[in-house]
Chain A
Amino acid sequence: MLRTWRQRITATDIVVWVIGLAIAVMVVYGSAKTLALGKYDAATWLDLTITGLALGGVYALIALGYTLVYGILRMINFAHSEVFMSGPYTATFMAYALISLGWWNKYPVLSLLIVMLVAAVVSSSIAVLLERIAYRPLRTAPRLVPLITAIGASFFLQYTFRGLYGSGLKGYPEMDIFKGFLMIAGIRVFKTQATAIIGAIVLMLILYAIVQKTKIGKAMRSVSEDKEVAALMGIDVDKTIATTFALGGAAAGLAGILYLLLFPVAHFYMGFFPGLKAFTAAVLGGIGNVPGAFLGAMLLGLLESVGPSLFLDGLGIPAAYQLKDAIAFTILVFILIFRPSGILGERLTQAKA
């Protein structure tokens, strides 16, 4: 505190800032050039925006699991992407079972409810088992230890699903009611995308209400504040943590179904990228913060879908869409460097960061 600002800035800071500035200039220049060239019309941009929002909705639901768990245990649940993956897998098999019963297109709402229920139950029980077997015994271990366990659990789940269900792609049958598109105020929106956006918002609101209004939500928040004090107040910490995992797992499973609407294929490796991006979203919004996760996810979805065309096309990069994942990771890296607390998060103390 006594040192002047000049002494507090190190060479590393300068290097980091220069790199950051260079990227910022590139983004602005690229966008300006793309817009000046006028390669895409307004309708294309709108399409990209809607795609981005739909993706963002899915990321938001996955990010919720990361955020809740991080808030409570101060650890990244690395295996959460596999919890997410279990949802679409279950949903696909349920869908085929319902098709063979002939219910799929006959009672679409009922079928959808069954699929959602089963997927949510499966993924939340996987999350709870994960916590019970892999994380609970290690709660007091050095930080690296549960992290490695989480990576191990993630691979175990991935390859268990691969072994159980085969390594091939599983196509998800589209329901008749989701075929085609809607016209909303003159804008053409695919029904699947509209469902994903609305579904994500509704589910986020419900989950937010659970965290904010219910008794168990209150317990979760108090455990994340201070485990010992919460235990003294008569809160069952183990049970609360398990509930957190269950809630996050259910959200991820439901996110999986929305993801299937956008990309109707289930695969054992499908959790990796969405999981990583949802984590990015959670960090972007401020980890540990539920509205932040939503905001971050929507922003990330937009950046990922609009970004390649907007920033990179203008720079003359061919096939810019190939770099959409790279954009997401670059955002992650820079958020963590410049504002690790995210958009809505409070400044994390050293102990937490």
Chain B
Amino acid sequence: MQTPATSPWKQAIQTGLIAGAIAVLLSLVGMVASFSGRFIVSGVFTMGQVIFLAPILLMSYSVIRRTSPQSPRTVLLTGLLTGVVGGAVLAALVLIGKNINLQAMFVNSSPKLHRILTFDQELVPGLLVLLVLSMVMGALASGIFLLPRRYATAINQALVWVILIGLLRDLILTVTVRWGPLAGLIKLLFAVSGLKPVSAVLLFILIAGLHYWRSGKLAVKQTRVQPKQRPLVRWLTWAGVALLLILLPPILGIFFSDILDTVMMYILMGIGLNIVVGFAGLLDLGYVAFFAIGAYTMGVLTSPELAANPMTYWQALPFAMIACVLAGLILGLPVLKMRGDYLAIVTLGFGEIVRLLALSDWLRPWFGGSQGIQLIAQPKIGGLLLNTQQELYYLFLVGVGIVAFIAWRLRDSRMGRTWMALREDEDVAIAMGINHVATKLMAFATGALFSGIAGTIFAAKLQSVYPHSMQFLVSINVLCLIIIGGMGSIPGVFVGSLALMGSPELLREFAEYRYLVYGILLVVMMLTRPEGLWPDARRRLELHEEELAAKAGDSATESAK
């Protein structure tokens, strides 16, 4: 970013070294080895190989873009040079690891890793294969860069989709198993692990072709849809989405419904935190506290272990909600004057205090200490007890529906606008006559309420709560998903939750590295795309204010200030 403009060769070597270092780190952390069992294209390449080759591809692309414009020959050579340097760093790791026993220190510098990096060959031919493949990655990067944009995006899309389909083999097969004749056809695509080579090639061509064809159509289509038709189209889409959401559990089966429950729970919490962080700009790191308070209130009131006359789920729900709102206000009051970093730390401390109190022997008679609370009531509707994952999904769905609707209406309400005003500039907002006390407290209370509702369903789902479920990491999960999805964006919460909470459940190997990946995602996201994957329109404008102003010309910049 700030490297001075030097010759492309020097930059290529530098970037190659960085790419190699990233690949080495990913190998030593163990990601390469643990993903090496998962084929994407059966017998051809595994996810492990993707993990150490992808950095080289991406970094080659970035160095080519940074040094452009250059002649095609230079571009190709830059790509090749970056690739070979990156590959050489990896090769050095293998050579060092083979001769010195690094395993005493780095647990993953194992013979298995070396076998993977040398593609199961002897040392010298294996390293040659590694170097050649790295160069191929560099060449691929320059190829993508040199091709016209339309071809390049088609190839990119096809690559990503083929990898995704290969990875999600199990999910796809489980979902489609009841689709009759289609199921047999889809099953033909896959091998025992990953795609069959033939089907991978076919899929690649199909997706790339489709994308190419669509990108040609898209330009024409955009002019043709009349504004009048838009509401109808939108309502139809919404109806379709709603129908799909209702039909999901029977389609997916019990195992995937359980994953879906987790995703929905995090959506519920995400929408709440999105109000606090995304709308009002108050970074709350102790969000799990409200989740805990919701779950524990439910436990204390409905479990025969602790309550003299246990309530039902529905009787206890209002109390849990009140408790959460009160907790939100109690946290909100003292932190009214704090901003940014201090607020983050204090809320973090608050979350930890709640957990430590729940864990302590002192409050054991009330909250069960480290043993937690068991036998929590499950919700009943009519005579139907909601106790399977699939039935509870509907409870989550209703909760998410209501909460999302409230959040959506709040965003465009007067309150929502005051939140955003506070987020942008607190002093100016107060000077404009906004009551910052009421506004902030409202944000905390609403956020707390939504999180508490998630907590009550969580308690009912497991029929038990433990202090160990109330880790700081839960707050981080929620924070990550709203940031990845896009701060202040409600669809972003859905996208973020599906991506971040769904993927570790679907790919068991990934679960081990989820926080590592979340950490990388947070940093990379903030550096390159702070508005998130599905950004809120206004938020995007705010974050790219300077660029837009620069585009509008110097005079506009001056008048804006």
Chain B associates with chain A: yes
**Interface CB pairs A-B, < 8 A, 29:** A12-B333, A12-B336, A15-B333, A76-B344, A76-B345, A133-B523, A134-B527, A137-B527, A138-B526, A141-B530, A147-B344, A148-B483, A148-B522, A149-B526, A151-B479, A152-B518, A153-B523, A155-B515, A155-B518, A159-B516, A164-B106, A164-B108, A283-B342, A326-B360, A329-B349, A332-B345, A337-B334, A350-B427, A353-B337
Task: Select from chain A the residue with minimum beta-carbon distance to B34.
Answer: A163
Q: Which of A15, A318, A323 has the most CB of B within 10 A?
A: A323
Q: Is B105 close to A, CB under 8 A?
A: yes
Contact of B104 with A160 in the complex, beta carbons under 8 Å: no
Q: How many Å lie between the Cα of A141 and that of B519 in the bound state?
A: 19
* CA–CA, A158 and B522, complex, Å: 14
**Smallest CB–CB gap between A12 and chain B, Å?**
5
Please report the C-alpha to C-alpha distance between residue A16 and residue B361 in the assembled complex, in whole angstroms.
28
Measured in the bound complex, the distance between the Cα atoms of B367 and A164 in whole Å is 38
Please determine whether B513 and A159 come into contact, CB atoms closer than 8 angstroms. yes
In the assembled complex, the Cα of A330 lies from the Cα of B341 at a distance in Å of 17
**Residues of B contacting A153 with CB < 8 Å?**
519, 522-523
Please tell me the number of chain A residues within 8 Å of chain B, measured between CB atoms. Answer: 61
In the bound assembly, the distance between CA atoms of A319 and B357 in angstroms comes to 12
Within 8 A of A (CB), among B14-54: 25, 28-31
A147 near B515: Cβ-Cβ < 8 Å? no
The one of A15, A141, A146, A152 that contacts B521, using a Cβ cutoff of 8 Å = A152
Q: How far is the CB of B245 from chain A (nearest CB, A)?
A: 30
C-alpha gap A75/B361 in the complex (Å): 37
Provide the residues of chain B in CB contact with A78, threshold 8 Å: 344
Mask: chain A, 78-118; 1 = CB below 8 Å from B; 0 = not? 10000000000000010010000000000000000000000
Q: Which positions in A face B, CB cutoff 8 Å?
A: 10, 12, 15-16, 19, 75-76, 78, 93, 96, 133-134, 136-138, 141-149, 151-160, 162-166, 272, 276, 279-280, 283, 317-320, 322-323, 325-326, 329-330, 332-333, 336-337, 340, 350, 353
Task: Write out the residue numbers on chain A whose beta carbons fall within 8 Å of the beta carbon of B476.
Answer: 151, 155
Smallest CB gap from A100: residue in B: B104
Determine whether B346 belongs to the interface, using a CB cutoff of 8 Å to chain A.
Answer: yes
A12-B437 contact in complex given A149-B527, A166-B107, A319-B361, C-beta closer than 8 Å:
yes
Residue of B nearest to A152 (CB): B522
Q: Which of A134, A166, A325, A340 contacts B356, CB < 8 Å? A: A325
Given contacts A159-B513, A165-B105, 14 further A-B contacts (CB under 8 A): A75-B341, A137-B2, A137-B527, A148-B526, A152-B518, A152-B526, A155-B476, A155-B522, A163-B28, A322-B362, A325-B352, A329-B349, A332-B349, A336-B346
Interface residues of B in 339-357 (CB under 8 A from A): 339-342, 344-346, 348-350, 352-353, 356-357
Question: Chain B interface secondary structure, helix, strand, loop or mixed?
Answer: helix
Tell me, rounded to whole Å, the shortest Cβ–Cβ distance linking B157 to chain A: 27
Q: Which of A15, A164, A279 contacts B28 (CB 8 A)?
A: A164
Number of A-B residue pairs having CB atoms within 8 Å of each other in the complex: 167
Check if B520 is an interface residue, CB within 8 A of chain A.
yes
Q: B453 to chain A: which residues have CB within 8 Å?
A: none
Q: Evaluate contact between B1 and A340: CB separation under 8 angstroms.
A: no
Decide if A163 touches B108 in the complex (CB within 8 Å): yes
From the candidates A12, A144, A336, A350, name the one contacting B342 in the complex (CB within 8 A): A336
Do A317 and B362 have beta carbons less than 8 Å apart?
Answer: yes
Contact call A156/B513, Cβ cutoff below 8 A: no
Chain B's closest residue to A332 (CB) is: B349
Residue of A nearest to B30 (CB): A163
B352, B362, B520: which has the most chain A beta carbons within 10 Å?
Answer: B362
Measured between alpha carbons, how far is A157 from B336 in the docked complex, in Å? 32
